[in-house]
Chains A and B, each alone.
Chain A
Amino acid sequence: MTTTLAASQLVDFAYIFAIALFILSLKWLSSPATARHGVLAGEIGAAVAVVTTFFNPELVEFKWIFVGLLAGVIIGIPLGLVPITAVPQRTAMSHAFGALAASLIGISEFYVRTPHITKFGMIEIAMEVIIGSLSVTGSLIAAGKLQEILPQRPIVYKGQNIVSLTVLGTAVILALVLMFRPDLTVLFPIMVVVSLFFGFLLVMPIGGADMPTVISLLNSYVGLSAALLGFVLSSRVLVVAGALDGSSGFILSVIMCKAMNRSFTNVLFGAFGQLQVSAEAGKEERTVRSASPEEAAQIIGSSNSVIVVPGYGMAVAQAQHKVREMFDILTKKGIDVKFAIHPVAGRMPGHMNVLLAEADIPYDKLIDMETANSEMPQTDVALIIGANDVTNPAAKTDQGSPIYGMPIIEVDKARTAMVIKRSLNPGFAGIDNPLYYMDKTLMLFGDAKKFVSDIVHELSGGGGH
């Protein structure tokens, strides 16, 4: 008797210790200088918690636990070693796994407790399983879109929101019925399936450009489902870990929404890029100025300051390593080169920072939107690589533009703006960009990687003159 008590107390203390380390772990992430200590703290906390769980007196059989852990190692290691370019889809996959684990535990708990389940316990389990299940399918769809297995365009149809909300409503009604009639166990798997279907409906219509918000939102759902699981199991360690994960996802969602000047509901229920297609039809021909790599290299090489504005296109073209070569040459020439990162550039929060860091660009050269905008008027060249909407001046001037009000990197304030782009086709969201037709703008038509590499070639004096 006394030994079991001691064992369960030991487990509790270990969990409290783990939680303290988790909080420190996130605190140390505040700066790149201490961030790796944060990972170590998290690892120690997690290891302590997992190991002491084996002292839980409730455990009677270990075989399947070890099978599960082994499978986790086999799946987890490759997922930890994916190329940095695949990080957005990997993150979506890990949201799906996290939600899957939480849902399965909730489902199992339902079958263990029924029919002697309290109304309150039932509603906790139902909420946990609904949020967990919709996050599983939602995250899988997001991963599919990021991996480009699924179309990245928003997929919309008439009455979509009504259909989606009806499906969610059905899951909630099933949960309420189960609360009063937990003996109708057959309704539970139906509720799970309906929730899975809702997750599919929720993310399917959302376009690639909105992925940073969606992936953050799914992150907060996964955290919420873990916290709710903590409520179900009266496990405070899960409540805390879930609350931390949930608040992180929530903060990131808010940052992403603000950076697009949109609301959650607008991201989730108002697919982008559908409305203005007709408005754009019948625009008169406008002239653009374009330049060759030689001309571009000459202007960049004779400037004093360059701000590079990267976007998803840079990631797609895998141009970041060529960009680093350019950065090295220009820095050697004494030209000040910085990188302006818009919060929603790329496919997930912080995407561009990680890509550029991987290409060995020092992080003190990565500046945020506010800093970039204050430096832009004194900048000779703004070089836009694969970014579109985040530099679109229509966001400030054209009230009819769908992105009106969205904060942008004001590349039109630099002395010269250069845009590397494949063609004049409007970007992902299908929104016209008046930047391309400005007098100070030079269009550099071509593949981002090829073009930057040609500029590097010219700059390093390999032009063959």
Chain B
Amino acid sequence: MPADFTISLYVFVLAGFLGFEVIKRVSPLLHTPLMSLTNALDAIVVIAAIIICGRRESNLSTILGAIAVAAAFSNMIGGFLITDRMLRMFKLSGRKKQ
């Protein structure tokens, strides 16, 4: 097994357990925003798309990279936007809307 793979596997296992422990504590009230937030965070693949697109390996990789940049970045922008919109709606009793 390549060393790089082993390191990635360590990171994956640790991050998976950490994610499990943190996300387990998310209130069921917020499961919809949780999904849109993790979508936005997952859109960090945009950084890989940027590199694929901009390192000029071939026309194909530039085109695929550009489409991937668009897809991932729209998720990032849209995901944060809608998560914040939804979270703004959650209010306690007695605290009336503006």
Query: How many residues on B have C-beta within 8 angstroms of the other chain's C-beta atoms?
Result: 88
Which of A75-83, A148-156, A273-281 is near enough to bind chain B? A75-83
Interface range on chain A (Cβ under 8 Å from partner): 35 or more
Q: A50-B46, A76-B75, A360-B91 are in contact. Are A247 and B82 (CB under 8 A)?
A: no
Instruction: Report how far A424 CA is from B25 CA in the complex, Å.
Output: 39
Answer whether A244 and B15 are a contact pair too, CB < 8 Å, given A72-B77, A364-B92: yes
Q: Which residues of A contact B94 (CB under 8 A)?
A: 362
> Which residues of the partner chain A approach B12 to less than 8 Å between Cβ atoms?
227, 230-231, 239, 242-243
- Chain A residues within 8 Å of B64, by CB: 104-105, 107-108
Task: Classify the secondary structure of A's interface with B.
Answer: helix
A54 to B39, CA, bound (A): 22
Q: Given the known A-B contacts A32-B30, A64-B65, are A97 and B72 also in contact in the complex, defined by CB atoms under 8 Å?
A: yes
B residues near A241, Cβ cutoff 8 Å: 41-42, 44-45
Q: Is the CB of B35 within 8 A of A349?
A: yes
How many inter-chain residue pairs (CB < 8 Å) link A and B?
386
Q: In the complex, A227→B42 CA distance in Å?
A: 9
Which residue of A46, A62, A366 contacts B76 across the interface (Cβ within 8 Å)?
A46
B21 to chain A, nearest CB (A): 9
Q: Measured between alpha carbons, how far is A58 from B36 in the docked complex, in Å? A: 31
- Tell me which of B38, B47, B73, B81 contacts A49 (CB under 8 A): B47
Q: Which of B7, B16, B72, B88 contacts A236 (CB 8 A)?
A: B7
Query: Contact: B80 with A248, CB < 8 Å?
Result: no
How many angstroms from the CA of A239 to the CA of B16 in the assembled complex? 9
Can you list 14 contacts pairing A with B, beta carbon distance less than 8 Å? A29-B34, A49-B44, A68-B65, A75-B78, A87-B32, A100-B68, A120-B5, A234-B4, A240-B11, A244-B42, A247-B23, A360-B91, A363-B29, A365-B93
